[in-house]
Amino acid sequence: MASLKSLLAYTSKVLLTLQKQTHVIYIKRTLLLSRLPLFKRTDGRFINIGRLSSTTAAEKGEDSFLKWFLLLIPVTTFGLGTWQVKRRQWKMALIDDLMRLTNAEPIPLPLDPHELNSLEYRRVRVRGMYDHSQELYILPRSPVDPEKEAREAGTLSSSGETGANVITPFHCTDLGITILVNRGYVPRQKIRPETRMKGQVEGEVEVVGVVRLTEVRKPFVPNNDVERNRWHYRDLDAMSQVTGAVPIFIDADYGSTIPGGPVGGQTRITLRNEHMQYIITWYGLCAATSYM
């Protein structure tokens, strides 16, 4: 019996030893297969250094991506700033061309519609008589200072005073047609013709002005009220039907102003020129993100 107990105790001891050795062999084989080093902590647990290395590599990859992304921002904003510089140069050249057209020597008004379509802002000269009985009013309008408009063409500015532009049919005696002439601006209290009789010139006069084409109604602009003679944009077809004129429209220049009448020279060069603001914005972002 004693020998049997000794044998069982010895067998249990051997099995326990084999179990421990098998566990160690399994761990070693796993390490060899995966080539991932293990370190044993003081509490007896193993740390997978390979997994930590993978985590560190992932973090390095994220850091690298972030660095490239941050580098991309100043490069992109610099490119956008440079593009805005070129856009501004193009816009300034376009404004200069328009200003040259509005200040060029006037030419006789052509009757060819195709030629007229390519002559917007071109100065022309006509001779004839006004028909004051069929005035139209585009309103509300703020006055345009011709000298200020020449300096600030392409910028967004407006005056606090409002009134209307007076559109009058003009019978061209040399051409045998009736066109529409924007005589100019009058304040609100002078819209009614009887308040400015001195300016209602009679007889034949010469008018110099710039050709204008029809307008398309912009968003949020009210529709024209034909019955009440309240026009909000330049619709040449509708204006021609009301007055019997042909759909040719010119803005009379400041020199055509009649004392006591509407003030001419109300041509506004409506080109947005905000590129300098964009240039400052993009280059400012480029500098800020480069510092980061």
Highest-confidence segment of 3-7, 41-45, 213-217: 213-217
| 202 and 179 within one domain | yes
Q: 196 and 239 in one domain? A: yes
- Let me know if residue 183 belongs to a domain: yes
With respect to residue 35, please indicate whether it lies within any of the assigned structural domains.
Answer: no
262: pLDDT strictly greater than 90: yes
**pLDDT tens-place string over residues 139-167:** 999 998 765 554 444 443 445 689 999 99
**Hey, what are 66's tokens?**
């972030």
How many structural domains compose the chain?
Answer: 2
Q: Which two tokens stand for residue 211?
A: 């050709």
Position 55 confidence tier, pLDDT thresholds 50, 70, 90: low
**Are 207 and 248 within one domain?**
yes
Average pLDDT, whole number, for the chain? Answer: 78
Are 213 and 280 contained in the same domain? no
Residue range 170-207, pLDDT digits in tens: 999 989 999 999 999 999 999 999 999 999 999 999 99
In a domain, 206, yes or no: yes
Which residue type, as a one-letter code, is found at position 245?
A: A
Residue 150 is predicted with a pLDDT of 47
Residue 215 lies in a domain: yes
- Give Cα 93 distance to the centre of its chain: 18
Per-residue pLDDT at 126 exceeds 80 = yes
* Residues spanned by the domain of 236: 107-256
Q: Indicate the pTM of the whole model.
A: 0.64
Residues 214 and 114 in one domain: yes
Q: Are residues 139 and 205 in the same domain?
A: yes
Same domain, 112 and 212: yes
Instruction: Mark whether 285 and 245 lie in a shared domain.
Output: no
Assess whether 132 and 251 both reside in one domain.
yes
* 70 and 197 inside one domain: no
Q: Examine residue 205 and state whether it is found in any structural domain, yes or no.
A: yes
**Does residue 160 sit within a domain?**
yes
Query: Does pLDDT of 32 surpass 80?
Result: no
